[in-house]
Amino acid sequence: MEKIIFIYPKRASFIDLDINILSKNYFVIENTYNWINKHTLPLALLNQFFFILKNIRASKYLVVSFGGYWSIIPSLLGKWFKKPVFIILHGSDCVSFKEINYGSLRKPILRFILKKSYELATHLLPVSQSLIYTENNYYSKNRTISQGYKYFFDKNNTKNTVIHNAVDSNRWCIQPNIKRNNNRFITVLSEGQFIRKGGELIIDIAYKLPEFEFFFIGILKPLSLSNAPNNITFIPKTPPDELLKIYNGAKYYLQLSIFEGFGVALCEAMSSGCIPIVSNANILPYIIGETGYVITHNDSDILEKKLIEIHNENNAEMGRKARKRIIENFSVEKRANKLYEVLDKGRIIYKKN
């Protein structure tokens, strides 16, 4: 079995999924360090250099998940040893959204590192077309904000292929024994994502619509929200089995992100039968297709009117349609076969189980 080096900054469900996919046909050598601590960054870079130097000759490819400080040495050594380097782009590595203090490209040194990494790489694999180039009209009604790595690095000629993220529809499924609450709206986010994923907007709307329930999954109640309305519930990060129950207990899933590279939790919720309500940002409208609703602007009055309208509609079957869309468009098999097609020119076919 051929070896590949898989480099990533920290574990996440979508990174675990890619490791599982690649492990079907390759011996995957994982490489990761603590890249968050600036004080240990030089040591991490040094350790990474010697790790890759030790393993690169016996490896067929280097696959890097996310562009970051961890992508420059693999890109340089890959060029030096003539080994293909594939960088999977996920979102923050293609953004400089100063208005919400988001994106790796806001930072001059990191921006330079990403520019060079993307130039040296053999192939870039963004999880959505919007990470190449997009125009954001959701955040501000009166201004278009351009994003995407080609917007910032317009002279970059590295080949790219969009390969959408995926979710396991067998794991994220509809559980008929759980009754859905028709007044419940949920959203999943982590610490530091509250503003970007529309948390403030949801708080505003909760005051206006006390008859509805709003659940934040993945965070504790922020100290700044000590006087939050009673129809808001905060649930800390939960295991997948518990999260599946939460998805199945809600009728609607809110993904009101100002910027979103893809939306894995959105796909999980849809696969579990939730009706999606998303912002008009990035790939989100494409993910839901005709199975949900799009909020045009980051405006609580628009959202209030839309939620009342949605709640009064006869949309009982939309949750099942949402699940069907995920199965047909964002399956593990689809991502796996596309990855293998790009990595090995279609010679290897994904082996399920």
Tens-place pLDDT, residues 111-151: 999 999 999 999 999 999 999 999 999 998 889 999 999 99
What is the C-alpha to C-alpha distance for residues 66 and 75, in angstroms, rounded to an integer?
Answer: 13
For residue 277, give Cα distances in angstroms to 58, 168, 270.
47, 21, 10
What is the C-alpha to C-alpha distance for residues 165 and 139, in angstroms, rounded to an integer?
Answer: 24
In this predicted structure, the answer to whether residue 38 has a pLDDT above a threshold of 90 is: no
H or E segment to which residue 342 belongs: helix 332-344
H or E segment to which residue 285 belongs: helix 284-288
Tell me the mean pLDDT in the region 282-288: 96
- Residue 219 DSSP symbol: S
Which segment of 245-249, 307-311, 349-353 scores lowest on mean pLDDT?
A: 349-353
For residue 67, give Cα distances in angstroms to 44, 95, 119.
15, 11, 12
Tens-place pLDDT, residues 40-98: 999 999 999 999 999 999 999 999 999 999 999 999 999 999 999 999 999 999 999 99
The fraction of the chain above a pLDDT of 90, given in percent, is: 88
What is the C-alpha to C-alpha distance for residues 152 and 114, in angstroms, rounded to an integer?
Answer: 11
Tell me the mean pLDDT in the region 197-205: 93
Q: What share of the chain is helix, strand, coil (3-state, %, to 5)?
A: 40, 20, 40
At residue 58, the pLDDT reads 96
b (16+ CB within 10 A) / e for 282-320: bbbbebbeebbbebeebebeebeebbeebbeeebeebbe
Nearest to 69, CA basis, from 39, 109, 102: 109
Q: What is the CA radius of gyration of the chain?
A: 21
**Residue 228 banded pLDDT, cuts 50, 70, 90:** confident
Tens-place pLDDT, residues 292-339: 999 999 999 999 999 999 999 888 899 999 999 999 999 999 999 999
All CATH 3.40.50.2000 domain ranges in the chain, comma separated: 3-166+331-344, 181-329
Domain 3-166+331-344 top-level CATH class: alpha beta
In this predicted structure, the answer to whether residue 349 has a pLDDT above a threshold of 80 is: no
At residue 353, the pLDDT reads 41
At residue 345, the pLDDT reads 66
- pTM assigned to the model: 0.93
Q: Which two tokens stand for residue 42?
A: 């030089």
**Whether the Cβ atoms of residue 293 and residue 276 lie closer than 8 Å to each other:** yes
At residue 223, the pLDDT reads 73
**Record: fold of 181-329:** Rossmann fold (3.40.50)
